Amino acid sequence: MSPTRPVVLDTVAAVRETLDAERAEGRTVALTPTLGALHDGHLEHVRRAAELADIRVVSIFVNPLQFGPSEDLDRYPRTLEADLDALAAEGVPYVFAPAVEEMYPAGPAQTHVVAGRVGSMFEGRSRPGHFDGVLTVVAKLLNIVQPDVATFGQKDAQQLFLVQRMVRDLDLRTRIEVVPTVREDDGLALSSRNRYLDADQRRAARALPRALEAAASAADLGVDAVVAAAQSVLMGEKLVEVDYFKVVDPATFEPVPDDFRGTARALLAARVGTTRLIDNDELHLG
């Protein structure tokens, strides 16, 4: 017998009515926001959510606000039927899968959450306006679902920082639960975009986690050594075009000075063929 598929809620009103009834019975709610095209990384969020709350909701929404004019909005995979099967196997009761017109009934939102200076750095510099779009839709989702807890992945470190800061700055009641990066057997961070890589590109992409491993191994020698170690790995892969490699202070997400000591985070973004990949790792600078 096949597992029961989640109930698909496609309107704001349906989400509120359904979850108000669950809360009236004393149940807590966890939200896992996604763009769909679910993989094992997303499912790890779902499993963690089961430990955190009585009721799980997974949102599946390809948010146009976070895609630039030259980005892959139309190309982004939409696999709702397969996603529902995967979530059924995990026992998820509800999926919020709204149409664009439901989330933005008057057209593109005129009111935005602005990500500030950090939102224009790193990923934000490569993708102008991206994080304003992310924070705006996350704020909407948190307001619609009103979850006790929401899961966000460490893989998207800058997004995670900005969401956590937004929740603090706006005094939102939802607690953000950080789910560690889920990796494939060879270390590559799981991503919906990995499916775009051909066999040669897939092998080349392994340079990203190897560069982070090299950086961590050199951390006792300081920031310059970390950067040099990562670059030595990345320069050895002709199919990898590095966008940035930066070391930041996790408390501010600003680049650290050369004499920084303590916990930091290495950020890496690169194109492998036409596919843009990101990754990050914690460092302990001696």
Find where tokens 């705006």 sit: 136
Q: Confidence band (pLDDT; 50, 70, 90) for 269?
A: very high
CB atoms within 10 A of CB 29: 22
Task: Express each pLDDT in 99-128 by its tens digit.
Answer: 999 999 999 889 999 999 999 999 999 889
Class of domain 192-285: alpha beta
In sequence order, the β-bridge partners of residue 178 are: 152
| Start and end residues for every CATH 3.30.1300.10 domain found in the chain | 192-285
Distance CA 97, CA 74 (A): 17
Question: What pLDDT score was predicted for residue 65?
Answer: 92
| Start and end residues for every CATH 3.40.50.620 domain found in the chain | 7-179
Compute, in degrees rounded to 10, the torsion defined by CA atoms 103, 105, 106, 108. 30
Task: Express each pLDDT in 1-37 by its tens digit.
Answer: 779 999 999 999 999 999 999 999 999 999 999 999 9
What beta strand segments (E) does 169-261 contain? 175-179, 240-248
Question: What pLDDT score was predicted for residue 69?
Answer: 79
The residues, any chain, with a CB within 8 Å of residue 79's CB and separated by 6 or more, are 36, 37, 38
User: If you write DSSP's letter for every residue of 14-63 in order, what string do you get?
Assistant: HHHHHHHHHHHTT--EEEEEE-S---HHHHHHHHHHHHH-SEEEEEE---
Q: Which stretch of DSSP H or E encloses residue 41?
A: helix 40-52
- Please tell me the pTM assigned to this model: 0.95
Average pLDDT, the chain: 96
Catalytic residue among 42, 45, 112, 130: 42
Task: Express each pLDDT in 48-61 by its tens digit.
Answer: 999 999 999 999 99
Q: Which stretch of DSSP H or E encloses residue 89?
A: helix 80-89
Query: In a 3-state reduction of DSSP, which class is residue 76?
Result: coil
Question: What pLDDT score was predicted for residue 118?
Answer: 98
Question: What pLDDT score was predicted for residue 166?
Answer: 98
Q: Of 3.40.50.620, 3.40.50.1820, 3.40.109.10, 2.30.30.30, which CATH number belongs to 7-179?
A: 3.40.50.620
The one-letter amino acid code at 284 reads H
Task: Express each pLDDT in 27-77 by its tens digit.
Answer: 999 999 999 999 999 999 999 999 999 999 999 999 999 988 777 788 788
Residue 166: both structure tokens together: 């937004």
Asked if residues 83 and 60 have their Cβ atoms less than 8 Å apart, the reply is yes
- Closest to 132 (Cα-Cα) out of 61, 66, 68: 66
Question: What pLDDT score was predicted for residue 109?
Answer: 86
Determine whether 42 is an active site residue.
Answer: yes
Question: What pLDDT score was predicted for residue 192?
Answer: 86
Question: What pLDDT score was predicted for residue 33?
Answer: 98
End-to-end CA distance of the chain: 56
Task: Express each pLDDT in 214-264 by its tens digit.
Answer: 999 999 999 999 999 999 999 999 999 999 999 999 999 999 999 999 999
